[in-house]
Amino acid sequence: MDSDRKIILLVDDNATNLTAGKNILKDQYKVYPTPSAEIMFDLIENIIPDLILLDIEMPEMNGYEAIKKLKGNPKWREIPVMFLTSKSDEGSELEGLSLGAIDYVAKPFSAPLLFKRIENHLLTESQKKQLRDFNNNLEELVRRKTMQVINLQNAVLSTVADLVEFRDDVTGGHIARTQKYLEILLNEMIAEGVYKDEISDWDLDYLLPSAQLHDVGKIAISDLILNKPDKLTPEEFEIMKTHVIIGVRAIQKIEKNADEHSFLKHARLIAGGHHEKWDGTGYPASLSGRDIPLEGRLMAIADVYDALISKRPYKRPLSTAEARDIIETGCGVHFDPVLVDVFSKVANQFAEIVRISAYS
Give residue-wise pLDDT tens across range 226-265.
888 888 899 999 999 999 999 999 889 888 876 667 888 9
Our measurement of the distance from residue 102's CA atom to the centroid of its chain's CA atoms, rounded to an integer in Å, reads: 35
- Which CATH topology does 2-137 take? Rossmann fold (3.40.50)
Largest CA-CA distance found in the chain, in angstroms, rounded: 102
The structural domains of the chain, with segments of one domain joined by +, span 2-137, 168-358
Whether residue 92 has pLDDT greater than 70: no
Q: How far apart are CA 250 and CA 346, in angstroms?
A: 33
Sheet holding 7-11, edge to edge: 30-34, 7-11, 51-55, 81-85, 103-106
The answer to whether the beta carbons of residues 8 and 118 sit under 8 Å apart is: yes
- Which CATH topology does 168-358 take? Hypothetical protein af1432 (1.10.3210)
171 or 94: which leads in pLDDT: 94
337 or 173: which leads in pLDDT: 337
The answer to whether the beta carbons of residues 157 and 212 sit under 8 Å apart is: yes
The answer to whether the beta carbons of residues 194 and 298 sit under 8 Å apart is: no
SS3 227: coil
Question: Which of 46-55, 126-135, 241-250, 261-270 has the weakest average pLDDT?
Answer: 126-135
Average pLDDT, the chain: 86
pLDDT band at 109 (very low <50, low <70, confident <90, very high): confident
| Model pLDDT, residue 90 | 62
Torsion-angle region of 332 (φ positive above 0: left; ψ -120 to 50: alpha; else: beta)? left
| Model pLDDT, residue 313 | 72
DSSP 337: H
Say whether 168-358 and 2-137 share the same fold: no
Whether residue 300 has pLDDT greater than 90: yes
Work out whether the CA dihedral 131, 136, 140, 143 comes out positive or negative.
positive
Whether residue 304 has pLDDT greater than 90: yes
